[in-house]
Amino acid sequence: MSTTPAGTSKGRIVGARTLTVLALVLVLLGAIAFYVERSVLDEGFEEIATELIQSDEIRVQVAATATEQLYANVDVEQVIAERLPEAQQGLAPVLAGIARQGTEEAAARLLERPRMQTAWVRTATATQQQVVRLLEDEGRFVSTTGGEVTLDLRPIILELADETAILGRVAEQLPESVGRIVIADSDDLETAQTAVRILRFLANWLWIVAIALAALAVWLARGRRRLELRALAIGLVVVGVLVLLIRRVAGNYLVDELTTDATEPAGSDVWSIVTQGLGDRAWLGVVLGLLLLAGVWLVGPTGLAARARRLVAPVAENPFLTYAAVAGLLLVVAALVPLFQRGWSSVLVFGALIVVGVEVLRRFVLRERGAPA
């Protein structure tokens, strides 16, 4: 890890830095692809659906939608008028408006029940699986379902009708289409299907290519490898911050474009929950970059770094103490970065990189002291 560039050709320097930049670009693309593939298209969506219905703002919006569907298919004003004396039937419109507000509140309370939240998760996950099937196998999906993806709120609407005293049991009055909201259809799927195939490929392989390019860049930068590692570390921090910035800017734009003043709080919660995994991965990149930057500084030529190496030398001489400290560090990171609660593959990769980095630092410190590695 010498900082001396003597003997290093300009071509190797340029080649190493080019590989470093390319590796960081692939890290950025791979993080987004991996998140979408694992969280949105695969089994991670069930956890997202659970978090969605646990949001107060989203429950209020789902309740409003269910109430709207119910009132669009039941003439509540007429139902009330039939129950009033003839002289008071003129009050039916006013009472219907009051009843609607009460129905929305009842629907929101209904969605707080574990049984109804389970029903929501089940129907939301089924909708997500329909979308995935539509994107991955257009012919089979269209032949069996007509090419429409729907979010089925009918069970929630029927339960709401039963819970509302003024409506009574109205299930037999509701058409089969009530509560089935079309999310997507089979038109113009070719571009989306191609994008999904590319995304799955990138999610599975891009991170491996990025690590290989980064390792090649460090190997190529003979005589100035510490500087190349520093560039990688700074780049990881920049990539993490960039992903966080993209998440915030894109979220603000989409929520503004796709919601009204009434639905904006629910839209913000949806975006925050759906993209939380992406934010976790961004913070993971920032943490890894900062740890790598600290390691690069520790093996540097400054007097402060030399004193720090002397301070950690007794720990470095004992592998058990060293890796006990590493385990403690990983526990701290796990508490700060929720990604460790979501995906074991990322945990294993992160842990392996930390172990390799710590072992390199440990051997560097021991060689400096003349102790056996």
220-248 tens-digit pLDDT: 888 888 888 899 999 999 999 999 999 99
Report the C-alpha gap between 306 and 371 in whole angstroms: 16
Helix (H, G, I), strand (E, B) or coil at 56: helix
98-137 tens-digit pLDDT: 767 777 777 788 888 888 888 888 888 877 777 777 677 6
Q: CA 43, 273, 351, 319 torsion: positive or negative?
A: negative
Report the C-alpha gap between 244 and 250 in whole angstroms: 10
> Which residues touch 102 (CB under 8 Å, ≥6 apart)?
164
Q: What is the pTM of this model?
A: 0.73
Number of H helices, E strands in the chain: 15, 2
**Residues 49/57, Cβ–Cβ less than 8 Å:** no
**Residues 183/131, Cβ–Cβ less than 8 Å:** yes
Helix (H, G, I), strand (E, B) or coil at 68: helix
User: Looking at the predicted structure, is the pLDDT value of residue 337 above 80?
Assistant: no
102-113 tens-digit pLDDT: 777 777 888 888
Report the C-alpha gap between 256 and 260 in whole angstroms: 8
User: Looking at the predicted structure, is the pLDDT value of residue 87 above 60?
Assistant: yes
Q: What is the DSSP letter of 38?
A: I
